[in-house]
A and B are shown apart, each in its own frame.
Chain A
Amino acid sequence: MSGLLYKNFFLYRIELIVIGVLQIICSFTVILNSAQTGGSEETMLLNMIVHFSMFFLTSLFDSGLFANDEKRVATCFAISTPKGAKSQIQSKYYTLLIVNLAVLFFCFVTDVICCVIMDSVLYSCASFMIIFFSFSIILTAFGVPFIIRFGSNNGGNIKISTVGVLILLIGIYLLFGDISFFMADDPVAELMKLLTAENVMLVLSFIPYAAIILYYISYRISLALYRKGAENYD
């Protein structure tokens, strides 16, 4: 497994560098924002948006991990090894999980630095980071089986299209749904109140566990689709 992980990180190095640069930019943005505006709910909301963007962007690079292995020779070789396709797929899922955990770690360290700068832990985004991390894992869990079955290009397009549909649905809600909290005197405080409301809190609390289960289900589906997907390779 360690050999496969090393291979994955080597093949994924360009994307990792890009993710690293994006992480540095996001961290600087959050730290500068905290230093300039100080501790407030607006600062916290902006920091949350930046952290969420970081996790979202990381999940968009998933297909790059599979592109270099999309050759029939490589796939046949992987299947012929003692542990077969299972270890190959496992290593991909471990790699993506490790990358997401690394992003979570750097976002957490950034948040700690922001708390010191703002001289308060009240506006820490740490508890929301686990939700953002879970969303990234769910996005990855959703996209990887498509990538394995249809190839990195087509699979990536399907994933981006699905995210686009979700964004469209959110847009439709914003146009026609209940957005009374935007009209309130303090919309940020109203949004924070909404996020920490009883029912919302309960739903949010299940997301990390759903992410673990979906990630495992995705792995099992990918295992089943691996051979079929290899038939599309050159």
Chain B
Amino acid sequence: MTDKKLTVKRLIIFLVISFLPFIIIVPIMNSHFGKPIYECEEAIPAVYALGVFGMLIPSAANIITRLATKEGFRNSYLGLNIEGNVKYYAASIWVKLAEIALGTLLLWAVFLKDMTFSEVFSFDDMKMRTGTFLLNLAASVIVFFPAFGEEWGWRGYMMPKLMELLPKPAAVAVGGIIWGLWHAPLTLSGHNFETTHWGYPWLGIVLMCTMCITFNTFLTLITERTKSVYPASFCHMVNNNFAGATWLMIFGSQTAVEKISEVSSVSTFFTVLPISVVIAVVSMVLLMKKKDEQAE
């Protein structure tokens, strides 16, 4: 078997193992609760557990595929490789925090434009708000484990395989689409995009794939530069812990929070998308740049 055929075989095995659990479990849960699980209050604990354990599936698929195909654990991206790569470790956190902060400001500019800055962002109880923010940021460490669970699968296994088979831009796009489609059973159940939006169910899946492509670009960059899966895990953990309008929830006034809660997730997605696209484009340029330097 040629190298490429072996890579394709391993990729297929990995993807089948990664996709199957959600395809089986999520419809069963929807049926059990009688409605989409992300829109059912009784399902909250079950959804919490599904999120935590579900995010470990790609890593489990990584391990099973490596053992089943006798690939071994070389090039597993498990080394820290901090020396010379501190800037990528730092970027994994501050780029994501900056993206979320800018997204919050964009949400204000678009949906709360009739309110002044001091009406949107409340400075009462600053001690409590600062404490909540810092504790939330620190508690991201707990989210590290599920985030690592995903990243070791997608960036640590799938993306290197895709980059063996395709040019980098295509590999990043295909990787993002695969990652977005993996979320499809959840998206159809109301995850990230409620089930009442225009274009349901297809628009939600398309938007999720778009989000994953843009996020995948930056994650692939920091993974490839460090040859380590940990920066991507840190970035993912901050993303999940500060998702959506979390900054607004912590620092926003009651009125602002209520107004934003009424806006559809599709609208908020399109509002913050430009920032994600900018980061993705810059990341792709940097990802390609290394290849160009090596070619010279």
Inter-chain contact A130/B131, CB cutoff 8 Å: no
Q: How far is the CB of B228 from chain A (nearest CB, A)?
A: 12
A109-129 contact mask (Cβ, 8 Å, vs B): 1 or 0: 100110110111100001101
Please indicate the chain A residues that have their CB under 8 angstroms from the CB of B25 in the complex.
none
CA distance A120 to B43 in the complex (A): 9
Inter-chain contact A198/B131, CB cutoff 8 Å: yes
- A182 within 8 A of partner (CB): no
Please indicate the chain A residues that have their CB under 8 angstroms from the CB of B163 in the complex.
none
Number of interface residues of B (CB under 8 A): 24
A115-164 with Cβ < 8 A to chain B: 115-116, 118-121, 126-127, 129-130, 133-134
Inter-chain contact B125/A104, CB cutoff 8 Å: no
Inter-chain contact A127/B139, CB cutoff 8 Å: yes
Chain B interface mostly: helix
- A175 within 8 A of partner (CB): no
Given contacts A2-B79, A115-B45, contact A201 B132 (CB under 8 A): yes
Q: Top 3 nearest A-B pairs by Cβ distance?
A: A208-B138, A205-B134, A201-B131
Inter-chain contact B138/A209, CB cutoff 8 Å: yes
- A204 within 8 A of partner (CB): yes
In-complex Cβ contact of A115 among B49, B127, B135, B139 (8 A): B49
Inter-chain contact B48/A121, CB cutoff 8 Å: yes
> 21 A-B contacts, Cβ less than 8 Å apart?
A104-B142, A105-B145, A108-B52, A108-B142, A112-B48, A115-B49, A116-B49, A120-B45, A121-B48, A126-B142, A130-B135, A130-B141, A133-B141, A198-B125, A202-B127, A204-B131, A205-B132, A205-B133, A205-B134, A209-B134, A209-B138
Number of interface residues of A (CB under 8 A): 30
Inter-chain contact B145/A108, CB cutoff 8 Å: yes
Inter-chain contact B135/A119, CB cutoff 8 Å: no
CA distance A116 to B139 in the complex (A): 20
CA distance A91 to B180 in the complex (A): 38
- B130 within 8 A of partner (CB): yes
With both beta carbons as reference points, the residue of chain B lying nearest to A113 in the complex is identified as B49
Q: How far is the CB of A23 from chain B (nearest CB, A)?
A: 15
Given contacts A198-B125, A201-B128, A204-B131, contact A130 B45 (CB under 8 A): no
Please indicate the chain A residues that have their CB under 8 angstroms from the CB of B132 in the complex.
201, 205
With both beta carbons as reference points, the residue of chain B lying nearest to A102 in the complex is identified as B145
Q: How far is the CB of B197 from chain A (nearest CB, A)?
A: 25
In-complex Cβ contact of B128 among A127, A134, A198, A206 (8 A): A198
- B46 within 8 A of partner (CB): yes
- B203 within 8 A of partner (CB): no
Please indicate the chain A residues that have their CB under 8 angstroms from the CB of B138 in the complex.
130, 134, 205, 208-209
Inter-chain contact A118/B142, CB cutoff 8 Å: no
CA distance A109 to B142 in the complex (A): 10
Q: How far is the CB of B207 from chain A (nearest CB, A)?
A: 27
Q: How far is the CB of A214 from chain B (nearest CB, A)?
A: 14
In-complex Cβ contact of A130 among B80, B125, B133, B139 (8 A): B139
